[in-house]
Structure 1
């Protein structure tokens, strides 16, 4: 099989060369059955998925329903530090369907350390590219070990013109003596097609701002006196301080509403305007009533400063030796995703301890939810579909749950995690974390836990038992594009329904005896109506001699499944090439 973005990047120009570069687009695994595990799932089916397995195999298995679908991708891949953070299987490099029994941690003494990392990351970034919506955005956490190679690889796969930027995340303070004390990591951001990404992103702070303004309007109606209103306003901010972020600084009031004092009168470099500012207005620089002038002068010409004074936008300090400031009103605030983010990295560990107990030490270096909330909240809408192919401790899923709780959104996530060796994080940590987070906040949502099963091809599909082939159909049916198919159990024919409420049915007694006749069609339609599902019913079987109607559509096994998995065309292509 071949999986690659279009158009293929030309070989000319600047690019990296490493052993494996010419083959990473074609070294991809066969799709797998994604089997639901009810005992590890939790709550109502909400479109959220936790999938246990190799992320490359899983992403290839998601293509049929989720190609060009994910609005936001966040991944936290191995940093290749040389410790126990990056396991590499040479067998899986040569055959992506091989068991990774030879996987070992890559050390700093390994001369192929960076080559192995590139061979691991390259096909996964291509798979992610194929799953992203045209307007989709990817955020990749990384440190300085592989930053340069990651960006050259991402330039090749996503195209340099689609690079949005690089964020420096300051997550810690380090007082240890060193040449350069490292206190930050990076988040690299690319678009699939930057022309389809909005020019400006709203951030979660925009939502908080709107909520605050609504509360202020109510406060104004209840408390007409400005001084009394200011006292109540500051009390409200203190009570919600933890969730307000930078907006907690808007603790002053005037007739226009809440504001903060901002140092915005300074000229950023020498050569600013030089004059005096008094409470009466602009005066001579030497006037006794003038406040201290900024070192480089004012950034505004005198007439602009006078207008700001007349409009009561200037804050005068208590002492003339101090510099005047400007009012920044909350109503004018516009959130932005900045290139430097300061979020305490310890918050990730604190969250796990809050969920699992103060003695929990089951995962190293979990990312803080606040980081993921900021990134996903900025780049995706309230109904965003979010992918994390390196789920780790499940921070991304937890962050999505919290974002939806705060703003009433309907974001959905797909988390993929294989674990490291014997550590099965998907079931022992990710699923359990999400379950506890949902229960702690009494959230009316849930997730489906899935695991990778057998490889899929024509022969494999025809050999599956009914339960397994039903899972494959729910995984691949074309009417579940972007939203997936909701599984239905306990029925004779109906096995699922799509987002429109239309039924999916299966008649399967093996590859020889699974003809869909008029009796099967009528029984499936009747069963669908009894379940409150709509027509047309998509009925799967091996053959059908009846013409399709408005009430049913026939889907042939295995051809319909193979087409949605893109297997048949690739098998034919390989046969022609051979």
Structure 2
């Protein structure tokens, strides 16, 4: 669509918006882009019977020519066949556009997901199936047997062995912003109290921009960190294991439904505790070490310690933890 372009001279090597029949458009791209496309996303008709799409490909078969121009609805007994016949040539052309490490993502729902898998296996090969993403759509509050509130994104590769072993985000804006302001404040304000005030002021101004990391409210000599995080597993059975107390070495009481996280390597935990204690002597009441409720009493505050309320498996009603032993949740 030349009239919608920004370039003075239209070129197939520029960004393109193609308006028209998608089969013809894909064929027009082959001479320039065959084997050069890294990623493709398509959103074909879901064939719900309510979309008003019609099969209009140029075919010679008398049976298929009888389909031309006829809207496909739920009463059409051949609607699945029409959908497969519409999809197959397009998928074959898309396969030719992909380079060896290229991938294709296809949105679909329950109406045709089973047929789509068969087509994709035929065109791309079952060995090149990368996976299927399930994403939650709108909530369905209508009375029914089982409400369907999700759709799928099916992913295949041109050659799966050419893909990177791990896919990960190249960068995360809120995290980078926090790391940047943390570094700047550490250099500009060596005094802890002033540094915290400046960071709190910055956080109030930019809170909406750094979600979901707006819970990282504190900064010390080691950088930005969050307050306490609950370790109990909400609603269902979690992990079961012993958490040794850092002073007594006895197991702490487990949460009612277990832990929400798998067992840590305790040797690493104690090493981090020692490292953190050496880096800073500033006392913080913003983190928990165990699953039990931690509260600071007035007597404990004056002595620089925290009391852990609740019985333990050893039968002791309460234990004391040096304030310097508590580990904040660091921004990694």
| TM-score normalised by L of structure 1 | 0.43
Aligned match of 1:78 in 45, 69, 75? Answer: 45
Q: 2:287 — aligned with what?
A: 315
1:302 to partner: Cα distance: 5.1
Conserved? CA contact 2:276–2:327, under 8 Å: no
Q: 2:179 — aligned with what?
A: 213
CA pair 220-209 structure 1, distance change in 2 beyond 3 A: same
Q: 1:422 — aligned with what?
A: none
* 1:375-406 deviation per Cα after TM superposition (whole angstroms, max 9, x unaligned): xxxxxxxxxxxxxxxxxxxxxxxxxxxxxxxx
Aligned match of 2:264 in 297, 300, 317? Answer: 300
Alignment of 1:506-521 (within 5 A): none
| Residue segments in structure 1 that go unaligned for 5+ positions in a row | 1-35, 333-578
1:130 to partner: Cα distance: 0.6
1:109 to partner: Cα distance: 1.0
CA pair 181-294 structure 1, distance change in 2 beyond 3 A: same
2:17 partner SS: strand
CA distance in 2 between counterparts of 1:157 and 1:197 reads: 18
The aligned length equals 284
1:68 to partner: Cα distance: 0.9
| TM-score normalised by L of structure 2 | 0.71
1:218 to partner: Cα distance: 1.8
CA distance in 2 between counterparts of 1:228 and 1:99 reads: 78
* 1:26-45 deviation per Cα after TM superposition (whole angstroms, max 9, x unaligned): xxxxxxxxxx63x3333566
| Residue segments in structure 2 that go unaligned for 5+ positions in a row | 278-285, 296-307, 311-325
1:205 to partner: Cα distance: 4.6
Aligned match of 1:67 in 6, 19, 34? Answer: 34
Q: 1:104 — aligned with what?
A: 70
CA distance in 2 between counterparts of 1:100 and 1:55 reads: 21
CA distance in 1 between counterparts of 2:217 and 2:203 reads: 7
* 1:106-162 deviation per Cα after TM superposition (whole angstroms, max 9, x unaligned): 111111111111111111111111111211111111111111111221122112222
* 1:484-523 deviation per Cα after TM superposition (whole angstroms, max 9, x unaligned): xxxxxxxxxxxxxxxxxxxxxxxxxxxxxxxxxxxxxxxx
RMSD between superposed Cα atoms in Å: 3.7
CA distance in 2 between counterparts of 1:275 and 1:166 reads: 37
CA distance in 1 between counterparts of 2:15 and 2:149 reads: 34
Q: 2:89 — aligned with what?
A: 123
CA distance in 2 between counterparts of 1:216 and 1:271 reads: 34
* 1:181-232 deviation per Cα after TM superposition (whole angstroms, max 9, x unaligned): 2222111111111222112223265355334422321232233334443444
CA pair 59-249 structure 1, distance change in 2 beyond 3 A: farther
Aligned match of 1:51 in 18, 23, 32? Answer: 18
Question: Structure 1 residue 164 and structure 2 residue 130: aligned?
Answer: yes
CA distance in 2 between counterparts of 1:172 and 1:275 reads: 41
- Tell which deviates more after alignment, 173-182 or 201-210: 201-210
Q: 1:513 — aligned with what?
A: none
Task: Select the structure with the greater relative contact order (CA < 8 A; seq sep ≥ 6).
Answer: 1
* 1:452-474 deviation per Cα after TM superposition (whole angstroms, max 9, x unaligned): xxxxxxxxxxxxxxxxxxxxxxx
1:237 to partner: Cα distance: 4.6
1:259 to partner: Cα distance: 3.1
